[in-house]
Amino acid sequence: MGKHFLFIFLSVLIISACATTPVSNRSALILIPESQEVSLGKQSYNQILKKEKESEDAHLNQIVRRVGQRIIAVSDMPKLEWEIKLIESDQKNAFALPGGKIAIYTGILSVAKNEAGLATVMSHEIAHVIARHGAQRMTQQILLQGAMLGAGLSMKNSTQRNLVLSALGVGVLYGLTLPFSRSHESEADQIGLIYMAKAGYDPNEAIKFWQRFSEVKGDKGPPEWASTHPADETRMQGLRGYLSRAKYDYQNVKLKHGLGQVFHLPQKNKTPEKPKAIPGVSVETLNP
């Protein structure tokens, strides 16, 4: 009787915890309360920002805020407490944390080239937040450990903090964790492409951005089976499959920005910083 009751309880819990992701309409299991997810995201974000230097370039900050606000306005969570920081660094990085906490590294602007390229990156990161990928990964970590710790997760507990950062960061397990993460990346590409189109940016630029990113990265990345991110060609192939819907949305937007403003970035003659992992839901980075 006890086992039967437990089975019914868990079945009801799982069914009630299933959520439908906007745009992709994919069902997802989330056992983490949204309030707790947001709190953990804020704590992680503040920890990261203490170690990073924010850009003082007023013009670039204005562009980043403008592009971000346009995408957020057409997203499915426009009233979330969004926060976007531009980090001064040669790293070609961007990351997102639950609760709407986004960071863009100045190094990735040279690959973005223009506002539409930047919109590709930002809409992808915003999509991770909208889809609650952080909460999904924390749920997965909890289930893998066989413990229903969701209600008691805390950044103050060292063991639980490692679980949270592992869930929000880059996966380390082959077979289950990594493919799970790649599915999130593909979903964020799909959602992000629609968002950038609805925000008035030419969705064709998304594929061109990833082509440029692939050229800069060269063969430095790990094989796809050992990576949290899809191979560049796999990613571009997926984007091409979503492009027709994005073009339809783009054509129906009254105010089109096209490629937007082209960036004129200052030339730097110093040795680029070595890329490092950032504990965010998504990390777009060149591997050393």
Residue 284 is assigned to a structural domain of this protein = no
Token reading at 82 = 């969004």
Residue 122 is assigned to a structural domain of this protein = yes
Residue 225 is assigned to a structural domain of this protein = yes
Cα(58)–Cα(266) distance, integer angstroms: 14
Residue 277 is assigned to a structural domain of this protein = no
The chain-wide mean pLDDT, for the chain, equals 78
Position 288 pLDDT exceeds 80: no
The per-residue pLDDT for 171 is 35
Q: State pLDDT tens for residues 234-275.
A: 888 989 999 999 999 999 999 999 999 999 887 665 555 555
52 given a catalytic annotation: no
| Pairing mode of beta strands 101-105, 94-97 | antiparallel
Residue 8 is assigned to a structural domain of this protein = no
Residue 23 is assigned to a structural domain of this protein = no
Position 7 pLDDT exceeds 60: no
For the chain, the domain total comes to 1
Select, from the ranges 173-177, 198-202, 270-274, the one with the highest average predicted confidence (pLDDT): 198-202
| Strand-pair partners of 87 | 54, 105
Residues composing the chain: 288
**pLDDT: is 234 or 167 the higher one?**
234
Question: Could you tell me the pLDDT band of residue 190, with boundaries at 50, 70 and 90?
Answer: very high
Residue 288 is assigned to a structural domain of this protein = no
Question: Could you tell me the pLDDT band of residue 144, with boundaries at 50, 70 and 90?
Answer: low
Residue of 215, 232, 210, 213 lying closest to 223 (CA atoms): 232
Q: State pLDDT tens for residues 107-134.
A: 999 999 999 999 999 999 999 999 998 8
pTM: 0.78
Instruction: Residue 74: give the domain boundaries.
Output: 34-251
The per-residue pLDDT for 33 is 84
Position 226 pLDDT exceeds 70: no
54, 56, 83, 125: which one is catalytic?
Answer: 125
Residue 60 is assigned to a structural domain of this protein = yes
